[in-house]
Structure 1
Amino acid sequence: MGSQMTEMLKGTLEGIVLAVLAGRSAYGYEITARLRDQGFSDLVEGTVYALLVRIEQRGFVDVEKVPSEKGPPRKVYSLNARGREQLEEFWRTWSFLAGRIEQLHNHEGKE
């Protein structure tokens, strides 16, 4: 990913992770793997884990410790009501911004 993509992703990653969790609960590595499958191939696991700590602290997810066959229990994250509200706000904001950016792009050089 180029530096511009990295910067844009920083501003939207919370909403992207909340959207992943809206589909179903998941643990950190699973979220990273899903995002990589969606084309976010350069996404670093540590970035996702740091974000999960923040959204947990902000009360957007419920966390359950689930036993793991390969070591310590995994923290499984589930989107809760507050997280769903945050996700709805993210989509409203995204739609507004995407619409304005598309307008700018379509009018570029036409004035």
Structure 2
Amino acid sequence: MSRSELAERQAALLAALVAGGPAPAGIDASRVALEASALRAKRRRVLARLLPVEVHERLGADLTPRLDAWISANPRRTGTSMHADADAFVAHLRAAGVLGRGRRRWWSAWGPR
């Protein structure tokens, strides 16, 4: 297998794990789905810890389904921090009218992430 073929297979596996793509040929789709689910759950847990209290108070039990839907529609981009990911989710909620304008997160004052 050439380096370019290996790179293509790795990119396909990554897309299956984090962006909802199909499992590459020769890889067990059920195992890929299981690992993708675990990665989404890990991202959800980290994001939930980073979100402002107002988000938890406003959404309550609706937080997990909203996070899951947002995570599925917004794969992590290379080079973004989890803080930026949490800020993007909050911005999504504000744009959807779920949250009002709030204060900036303390780390936002430190500049780009």
Q: Scaled by the length of structure 2, what TM-score is found?
A: 0.29
Q: Which has the higher strand share?
A: 1
Larger relative CO (CA 8 A, sep 6+): 1 or 2?
1
Q: Which has the higher helix share?
A: 2
